Amino acid sequence: MNLPDAAGHYGPYGGRYVPETLVPALDELTAAWQAARRDPVFAEELTRLLTRFAGRPTPLGDALRMGADAGGCRIALKREDLCHTGAHKINNTLGQVLLARRMGKRRIIAETGAGQHGVATATAAALFGMPCDVYMGALDVERQALNVFRMQLLGARVVPVQSGSRTLKDAMNEAIRDWVTNVEGTHYIIGSVAGPHPYPAMVRDFQSVIGDEARAQILQIAGRLPDAVVACVGGGSNAMGIFSAFIPDRAVRLVGVEAAGYGLDTGKHGAALARGRPGVLHGSKSYLLQDGDGQIIEAHSISAGLDYPGVGPELAWLKDEGRLELRQATDDEALDALGYLARTEGIIPALETAHAVAAARDLARELGPRGLLLVNVSGRGDKDVQQLRAASQERAATRTRRRPAGKRPATRPRKHSPRAKRNPQSTRRSP
Partner 1 sequence: MTPPPDRIQAAFSAASKRGSAALVTYVMGGDPDLATSRDMALACAAGGADILEIGMPFSDPIADGKTIQAAGDRALASGTTIASCLRLAAEVRKRTPVPIALMGYVNPVLAYGEERFLDGCVASGVDALILPDLPPEEAVSFRTAAASRGVKLVFLLAPTSTPARVAAACDAATGFVYFVSVAGVTGARTSLPADLGAKVKAVRKRSPVPVVVGFGVGTPAQARAVGKIADGVVVGSAIVQRIAEGGARKARAERVRRFVASLARALEL
Largest CA distance in the chain: 63
Question: Any contact of residue 431 with partner 1 (CB under 8 A)?
Answer: no
Residues 20-39 that bind partner 1 (CB under 8 A): 20-25, 27
φ, ψ (nearest 5 deg) of residue 428: -60, -40
Q: What is the DSSP string of 235-254?
A: S-HHHHHHHGGGTT-TTSEE
Residue from 34, 47, 51, 181 binding partner 1 (CB under 8 A):
181
Q: Which residue number, 227 or 307, has a Cβ lying nearer to partner 1? A: 307
CB closer to partner 1 out of 235 and 371: 235
For 347, the 3-state DSSP assignment is: coil
Instruction: Say whether residue 425 binds partner 1 (CB under 8 A).
Output: no
Beta carbon nearer to partner 1, 173 or 330: 173
Among 276, 352, 343, 345, which Cα is nearest to 316's? 276
Q: Are 113 and 97 in contact (CB under 8 A)?
A: no
Give the one residue of 18, 233, 348, 374 binding partner 1; rule: CB under 8 A.
Answer: 18
For partner 1, the binding residues in 55-84 under the rule CB under 8 A are none
- Pick out residues in 263-292 that bind partner 1 (CB under 8 A): 277-283, 288, 290, 292
Surface-to-core class of residue 104, CB atoms within 10 Å of its CB (0-12 exposed, 13-18 middle, 19+ buried)? exposed
Catalytic site includes residue 169: no
CB neighbour burial string for 337-362, b if at least 16 within 10 angstroms, e if fewer: bbebbbebbebbbbbbbbbbbbbbbb
Based on CB atoms, which residue is closest to partner 1, 277 or 421? Answer: 277
The answer to whether 111 is a known catalytic residue is yes
Provide the minimum distance between the beta carbon of 313 and partner 1 in the complex, in angstroms, as a whole number.
13
185 closest CA partner among 77, 313, 28 = 28
CB of 288 to partner 1, least distance (A): 8
| Nearer CB in complex with partner 1: 36/176 | 176
Does residue number 423 form part of the binding site for partner 1 (CB under 8 A)?
no
Least Å distance, CB 184 to partner 1, is 7
Distance in angstroms (rounded) separating the CA atoms of residues 8 and 196 = 8
Q: Which is nearer to partner 1, 177 or 412 (CB)?
A: 177
Per DSSP, the three-state class of 420 is coil
- Which residue of 176, 271, 335, 363 would you call a contact of partner 1, by CB under 8 A? 176
The verdict on whether 142 is a catalytic residue reads no
Distances (CA, A) of 159 to 257, 283, 301, 413: 30, 22, 22, 22
The CA dihedral of 14, 174, 110, 38, to the nearest 10 degrees, is 30
| Gap between the Cα atoms of 349 and 329, Å rounded | 15
User: Which string of x and - marks every residue 184-203 that binds partner 1 (by CB under 8 A)?
Assistant: x-------------------
Annotated catalytic residues are 89, 111, 378
The footprint of partner 1 (CB under 8 A) covers 7, 15-25, 27, 163-164, 169-170, 173, 176-177, 180-184, 277-283, 288, 290, 292-296
